[in-house]
Amino acid sequence: MRIYCFIAVMVFSLFVTCASAQAAVTDGENCMMCHKYPGLTRVNDEGYLRVFYVDSENYAHTVHTKVKCTGCHVDIKEIPHKEMKPVDCSTECHINNAGSEKPFSHKKIVETLKKSIHNPDNPDVRARIVEDFPSCTNCHKNPTYRFDPGDVESVDEARHKERVLQKCAVCHDNNIDYKYFFNHVTHRIKNLAPSEDVVKTCSKCHSREEMATKHKMKNAAATYLDTFHGKAVEFGMPHAPTCIDCHVKKGDSAHNIQSWRNPKSATYEPNRYKTCEDADCHANASQQFGMIRMHSVIDKDIYPIEFYVALGFTILTIGAFYPLLGLMILELIRELFPNFSLRRKKKD
Amino acid sequence: MSHQHVKVGPKRIIYCLLGIAIMVYCGYIVEILVMHIWHKAPHAEHGEAGLSKEDKLYQDMIAGVSQDGGHGAPVVDINSSHKLYDFHETKRTAIEDTQNLCVSCHGDVPHDKKKEVRAFLNMHAYFMACETCHIKVENTMTTKFVWYEKTTGEQKDKIDLSTYLKDTPYKLLPLAADGGKLYDNDQMVKYVDEFKSQVNNMAPSAKSAAMKVIHRPMTELKNAVNCENCHTPDRAKAYLPFEKIGYPERRANQLVGNEVVGMVNKYKEFYIPNFLKPAEGTESEN
């Protein structure tokens, strides 16, 4: 906690100084000569608007701020640009891995994704429809660093910001590099996305009935949203359990989600309780606890017992709860209008 | 026996109203918690009705589109950037032109045919009215150029041009020397309005004839103002009178400088011979 606070103080102190330093992103290739114009747009062959405008001010605060345009758009060699392939995130993008001279790339993550259930070649995949499987940009955008100056307001024994910078400058040159790494680290410390955003991202594909039918699955998003976990997200509970919390093994990458039939999966039935028993969730979960189905599927043919229980409760709700509620509301209305009567008053 | 009239105090009213509100809310909560298990389709909030414009576009994209479903669509909302291509999340809201008569049919992203240059042309269309290039006047020095506000139509002789036209709310428009409109005069506006209201019931020949009338004031495409007419190394010969329309010396020099002119020339070499001359009949007639 102390470390977190310390780093948060540093971020806060660097926030103002970084903003000006980073806004001046080097554009040695002069791409912004054209791409600074918001009107640089066209409609593609499918009728969708593509915007080629890049907001350099916003880009300067994103996690890719140190990457040159051609670091990702490697096909661009000349003006006018030729037809380009989609960006491949496993490309080595001209920046170095921290602490080494090796070029950086997301290759490792792409390799991990290839071994996951989100790869059509995975043996557990039921329908190998390549275009239905996600690429990096289906789930990821270019996020800005998550500064939250509010985090440091409660820290008492914080160094003065100038002392913080001074300490960094002892070893590092007073350039934007160490500020960049601080931003990077503190960005990673935080939960990257609120629960509802995680669910929304997965729902892009997993809430679609036709996709579920093609891949012989249930509508994972809808059946999740019917559970307590899903309801917690819907009601805006902070840190409510999302798809990632259950489908990603503790300490593993979110890119390595496996089928529930794979023994290595976080949702493999015999081991599922281990996922539930996280200290922040259900600390003493037993193996039986893990057998509770966390996607509520009401289907008479697959789960007849659950179906009839649900039917019984629904009948009870409609037949007893709502009439009772109605009576109580009528009672309160009577309290409001005690003298009201539909009968004609008798003349004395 | 006569009924006694009961008086209702303010406390009781408050308690009752509060009670009713709580009951209704309980009913709503139970409905969410219990009744949703019976849905066959996705929740309403995940159905089409609850989708944002962006999400709808995304779903359309994933679902695929028919061959003739989108290409050449006459009007594209300039703020409907597709999610799949929005990695950089521009977060800007483009100012839509509600004043220009051409835009009322062609939209804010009007150029869609010439693949090589359409994005550049649309970029210029963001701060230049269609008339600026598509009605080529004989002598720009005797023509009046004004900047009109895209949402109100308010005209100004000069705007701040010390930096590039980023999210500008203004567009450059040529007018006759006396300030008269070159295209969207009252008569044309009325004619276009009538055409738009009747176009679905018109015979093809009548439609074609009306389109000719509407586009008659436009210069033939092959003679329209092209890039090198303005971005020329000889500033004195530039079609647009940069100083007169408010460009400071430094910016005017940039527009005719090596960077821009060099790029135009590169395009010219690459797409020789006709890259800036849209082929006959290939421009959108919408």
pLDDT at B171: 95
**pLDDT tens digits for range A273-331:** 999 998 889 998 999 998 888 887 777 887 888 889 888 988 988 899 999 999 999 99
Query: By C-alpha distance, which of B29, B37, B30, B52 is closest to A224?
Result: B37
List the single range of B10-19, B45-54, B107-116 with lowest mean pLDDT: B45-54
Considering chain A, what percentage of its residues have pLDDT values greater than 90? 21
Q: Which helix (H) or strand (E) holds A50?
A: strand A49-51
pLDDT at A92: 85
Q: Which residue carries 């996600």 as its tokens?
A: A134
pLDDT at B217: 92
Q: Which helix (H) or strand (E) holds A183?
A: helix A176-189
Q: Do A39 and B126 touch (CB under 8 A)?
A: yes
**pLDDT tens digits for range A244-283:** 999 998 888 899 999 999 999 999 989 899 999 988 899 9
Q: Rounded mean pLDDT of chain A?
A: 81
**pLDDT tens digits for range B146-180:** 999 999 999 998 898 888 888 889 999 999 988 88
Specify whether the CB–CB gap between A158 and A5 falls below 8 A: yes
A52 and chain B in contact, CB less than 8 A: yes
Higher pLDDT, A23 or B112: B112
Alpha-carbon torsion, ordered B236, B240, B241, B247, to 10 deg? -110
Helical segments of B129-244, H only? 130-134, 186-198, 204-215, 227-230
Q: Do A49 and B267 touch (CB under 8 A)?
A: no
A202 and chain B in contact, CB less than 8 A: no
CA torsion through residues B57, B62, B65, B70, sign: positive
Gap between the terminal Cα atoms of chain B: 83
Q: Which of A208-212, B188-192, B204-208 tops mean pLDDT?
A: B188-192
Q: Which helix (H) or strand (E) holds B147?
A: strand B144-149
Q: Which of A77-81, A109-113, B232-236 tops mean pLDDT?
A: A109-113
- Evaluate if residue B140 carries a pLDDT over 70: yes
Task: Report B:204-233 residues touching A (Cβ under 8 A).
Answer: none
pLDDT at B79: 77
Higher pLDDT, A116 or A225: A116
Q: Do B82 and A55 touch (CB under 8 A)?
A: no
Task: Report A:209-248 residues touching B (Cβ under 8 A).
Answer: 209-211, 219, 221-222, 225-226, 231, 234
pLDDT band at A45 (very low <50, low <70, confident <90, very high): confident
B8 and chain A in contact, CB less than 8 A: yes
pLDDT band at B53 (very low <50, low <70, confident <90, very high): low
pLDDT at B19: 95
List the single range of B78-87, B105-114, B205-214 with lowest mean pLDDT: B78-87
Q: If you average pLDDT over residues B126-143, what whole number do you get?
A: 89
Q: How far is B178 from chain A (nearest CA, A)?
A: 31
B76 and chain A in contact, CB less than 8 A: yes
B195-203 long-range Cβ contacts below 8 angstroms, 24+ apart: B196/B104, B196/B105
**pLDDT tens digits for range B195-237:** 989 988 888 899 889 999 999 999 988 889 988 899 998 888 8
pLDDT at A217: 85
Q: If you average pLDDT over residues B107-120, what whole number do you get?
A: 84
Q: How far is A170 from chain B (nearest CA, A)?
A: 35
CA torsion through residues B63, B69, B72, B78, sign: negative
Domain range summary for chain B, segments of one domain joined by + = 92-183+218-270
pLDDT at B88: 86
B1 and chain A in contact, CB less than 8 A: no
Give the ipTM of the model, two decimals please: 0.73
A322 and chain B in contact, CB less than 8 A: yes
On the CB side of A101, CA atoms within 13 Å amount to 0
What lies within 8 Å, CB to CB, of A190 at 6+ separation is: A146, A148
Domain range summary for chain A, segments of one domain joined by + = 2-104+138-189, 195-291
pLDDT at A104: 84
- Evaluate if residue A212 carries a pLDDT over 70: yes
On the CB side of A176, CA atoms within 13 Å amount to 19
CB pairs under 8 A between A and B: 196
**pLDDT tens digits for range A176-205:** 666 677 777 777 766 667 888 889 889 888
Q: If you average pLDDT over residues A135-146, what whole number do you get?
A: 85
- Evaluate if residue A347 carries a pLDDT over 80: no
